Amino acid sequence: MLKRIRLRDYDFKLVLMVAALAVIGVLAVGSAADEALQARQLAGAVAGLFLMLVISFFNYSWILKFYWVMYGLNAVLLLLVWARGEEHGGAQRWLVVGGLQFQPSETAKILLILFFAQFIMKYKEKINSVRVIGACLLLFAVPLYLVLQQPDLSTSIVLIVLFCVVMFVGGISLKLVFGVMVFVIPAVALLVSLALQPGKDVGILQGFQQERLLVFFNPEEYPDKTLQQQNSVKAIGSGILNGKGYKNNEINSVKNGNFISEDETDFIFAIIGEEFGFKGCLVVILLLFGVSLDCISVARRSQDTAGRIIAAGMGGLVAFQSFINIGVATYILPNTGLPLPFISYGLTSLLSLFMGMGFVLSVGYQSRKNKTKRGY
């Protein structure tokens, strides 16, 4: 269970990159919002770092023995959201317990990675059988359906991407992957083409979700709907190379003029761009890229399938979610509600990511320790 830590086998590089992102997040939230939210973000970052380090001291293989408990807990939390969740902005995604509000769809990302890591490792010799693939699809369909009903299409897409990463790393046949792509790519293209027809009812998409696609592809027809992303691009561009300075009081500041809503969450990258310029944006992108790359490196060194899935899953999560968030802020993707990992305000997302990184650290440490024991 607990391991004697040898400093030479510990991945301090990953810890430092994650901590740096958390510090940038605290600063950015403090500029975008009031001191109360900044204090909560700071508390979440400190608590997250503590949880990450504690988890990393445990053998992940022992924790994964409780994989069915993780799956059950995830399902119960998502069912509670469906039954009695708090609604904000037309979406029912939050639970309030004892005055604390959290978003189970964020914890679902981590719990599903952990669950499938152990489930696939248990049946890795039969991963390409119809029975095992069918079981994986069925087990994944339950949480996916519950998240879609909130409705939360953006998180559902993240979960689908994570499931694909998990299955690929788990050893699914490439022939099957390409076979699925032959059907999925045309289906997605058809869905998007239908969604781009105003007044056309697309069953899987809510009205506001379809509108976001229409606004993105036909901005000239919805000038009022594109202001959020246009202002985000202006804010990033106005920072030029060095930025306008942290918490600047310039009158022409997009942030100070309150031209961006949700700037502490969905559009936190715009705040970084305006105040810290291209250099600040580059630092954030390189840190996020570094975290993802380190996770992939840990996955390659892992001694078992479960470790590879955990590390690759977390790397994929950080990379994909970062790409989507920054893509929205720079207006190269339609508007969604995904946070920027470790930086956007949101304690559930922050703590979940830290916990996931704790498991990556555990995988990396365990791999190095075993390699040292064998004399490699």
pLDDT in tens, 216-227: 777 777 777 778
Asked, for residue 49, whether it belongs to a domain, the answer is yes
Provide the domain limits for residue 10. Answer: 6-57
Distance CA 62, CA 267 (A): 39
- Judge residue 3's burial from the number of C-beta atoms within 10 Å of its C-beta, 0-12 exposed, 13-18 middle, 19 or more buried: middle
Asked, for residue 51, whether it belongs to a domain, the answer is yes
How many other CB atoms are found less than 10 A from the CB of residue 81?
24
Please give the residue that has the higher pLDDT: either 128 or 47.
47
Contact 287, 294 (CB under 8 A): no
Q: Under DSSP, is residue 339 helix (H, G, I), strand (E, B) or coil? A: coil
Asked, for residue 197, whether it belongs to a domain, the answer is yes
Q: Answer yes or no: is pLDDT of 373 > 60.
A: no
pLDDT band at residue 368 under the 50/70/90 scheme: confident
Asked, for residue 39, whether it belongs to a domain, the answer is yes
Q: What is the mean pLDDT of the chain?
A: 86
**Residue at a domain's end among 185, 202, 222:** 222
pLDDT, average across residues 239-251: 82
Asked, for residue 201, whether it belongs to a domain, the answer is yes
Asked, for residue 132, whether it belongs to a domain, the answer is no
| Per-residue pLDDT reduced to its tens digit, 83-101 | 887 777 667 788 887 767 8
Q: How many folded domains does the chain comprise? A: 2
Please give the residue that has the higher pLDDT: either 195 or 346.
346
pTM tops 0.85, yes or no: yes
Asked, for residue 317, whether it belongs to a domain, the answer is no
pLDDT band at residue 376 under the 50/70/90 scheme: very low
**Residue at a domain's end among 183, 202, 222:** 222
Q: Answer yes or no: is pLDDT of 202 > 60.
A: no
Asked, for residue 152, whether it belongs to a domain, the answer is no
